[in-house]
Amino acid sequence: GAVVSQHPSWVICKSGTSVKIECRSLDFQATTMFWYRQFPKQSLMLMATSNEGSKATYEQGVEKDKFLINHASLTLSTLTVTSAHPEDSSFYICSARGPSYNSPLHFGNGTRLTVT
Amino acid sequence: AQSVTQLDSHVSVSEGTPVLLRCNYSSSYSPSLFWYVQHPNKGLQLLLKYTSAATLVKGINGFEAEFKKSETSFHLTKPSAHMSDAAEYFCVVGMDSSYKLIFGSGTRLLVRP
C-alpha cells in the first residue's frame, strides 16, 4: 500500500540551530502534503498545507519564517525549523494525498524534535 | 465552522469487553468523518471513514462507527477489546475538498488483562 516516509524519526539539536525534516511519498505522487504538530498528550494541530510547485499555506498563528516548507517535487516536502528553541520541541507529523480528488491521506510516522 | 469533540480523554476496559469511544461533531454541511489510531511515538493509521454513504461504517481490526446525524455523533465501537488495541484514538472531521483535517483531542484507550 501507499507509504509516507518521514526522516529523521527523531532529532536532538541545540538552540539556535536549524533542523530539516523530510516527508516522502514512496509509491505515489503527492500533490498536497500537510504538516502537523503534536504536543505531548495533545492532539494534532495543522501547521500548513504544502502544494507542489507553489508556496505553502500556513494556518493562523504559525510563523512561516520559522517553519519553512518546501515542496519541490511530487514526492518530497521538507519542513525546516529555523533557529530552533526549546519551545519548538514537539512531535511533527506529515501527511500526503495523491493527485486525484478521491485520493486518500497517508500519514508518516512522525519526527520527534528535542531542542536543548 | 467545523469542530469535533471527543467526550472522554481516557477509557479503560478489560480485555474481551466492548469498546465505546465517543465523538460529537459540528459541521455546517455533510461532513467527512474519520477515526485514526496512534500508537506511542508513531504516526496515524486510518481505522475507518464516513463520506455520506452507509451510516454504519466498518473499519479495520474489528472497529466500526455509526454516523448519527440527529445526534451529530460518530462513536467508535468494537465488540471485544484486545490488548493490542491500547492506543490513542482520534476522531477527525474533514474540511471541504481540501483534505484539511480537524482533529479531536484524542481518547486514550487502556485495555486491562
pLDDT, position A102? 67
pLDDT, position B98? 60
What cell was used for A71? 515542496
Residues 6+ apart with CB under 8 A from B54: none
**Residue A113 in contact with residue A19, Cβ under 8 Å?**
yes
- Rounded CA separation B51/A84 (Å): 39
Residue B75 has pLDDT above 90, yes or no: yes
The pLDDT confidence band at residue B2, using thresholds 50, 70 and 90, is confident
> Hey, is A38 helix, strand or coil?
strand
**Residue B24 in contact with residue B5, Cβ under 8 Å?**
yes
pLDDT tens digits, one per residue of B77-104: 999 999 999 999 999 988 766 667 889 9
- Rounded CA separation B18/A67 (Å): 43
**Residue A94 in contact with residue A85, Cβ under 8 Å?**
no
Asked if B44's CB is within 8 angstroms of A43's CB, the reply is no
Please give the sequence-ordered ranges of beta strands (E in DSSP) within chain A, or none if there are none: 4-7, 10-13, 19-25, 32-38, 44-51, 57-58, 67-73, 76-81, 90-97, 105-107, 111-115
Picking from A96, A111, A82, A79, the residue whose alpha carbon sits closest to that of residue A18 is: A82
Torsion of CA A53, A56, A57, A60, to 10 degrees: 180
| Chain A residues within an 8 Å CB radius of B97 | 101
Asked if A97's CB is within 8 angstroms of B99's CB, the reply is yes
The mean pLDDT value for B24-37 works out to 86
pLDDT, position B27? 79
| Chain B residues within an 8 Å CB radius of A95 | 44, 101
The pLDDT confidence band at residue A1, using thresholds 50, 70 and 90, is low
The mean pLDDT value for B1-29 works out to 92
pLDDT tens digits, one per residue of A9-38: 999 999 999 999 999 999 888 888 999 998
CB proximity A51 to B under 8 Å: no
pLDDT, position A101? 64
Asked if B45's CB is within 8 angstroms of A93's CB, the reply is no
**Residue B57 in contact with residue B91, Cβ under 8 Å?**
no
Q: Which of B6, B101, B102, B110 to mutate to test the interface with A (most CBs of A within 10 A)?
A: B101
The dihedral built from the CA positions of residue A60, A62, A68 and A70, taken in this order, carries a sign that is negative
Asked if B41's CB is within 8 angstroms of A45's CB, the reply is no
Residue B6 has pLDDT above 80, yes or no: yes
CB proximity A108 to B under 8 Å: yes
pLDDT tens digits, one per residue of A60-107: 999 999 999 998 888 999 999 999 999 999 999 999 987 666 677 888
Residue B107 has pLDDT above 80, yes or no: yes
Residue B14 has pLDDT above 60, yes or no: yes
The alpha carbon of residue B15 is apart from the nearest alpha carbon of chain A, in Å, by 24
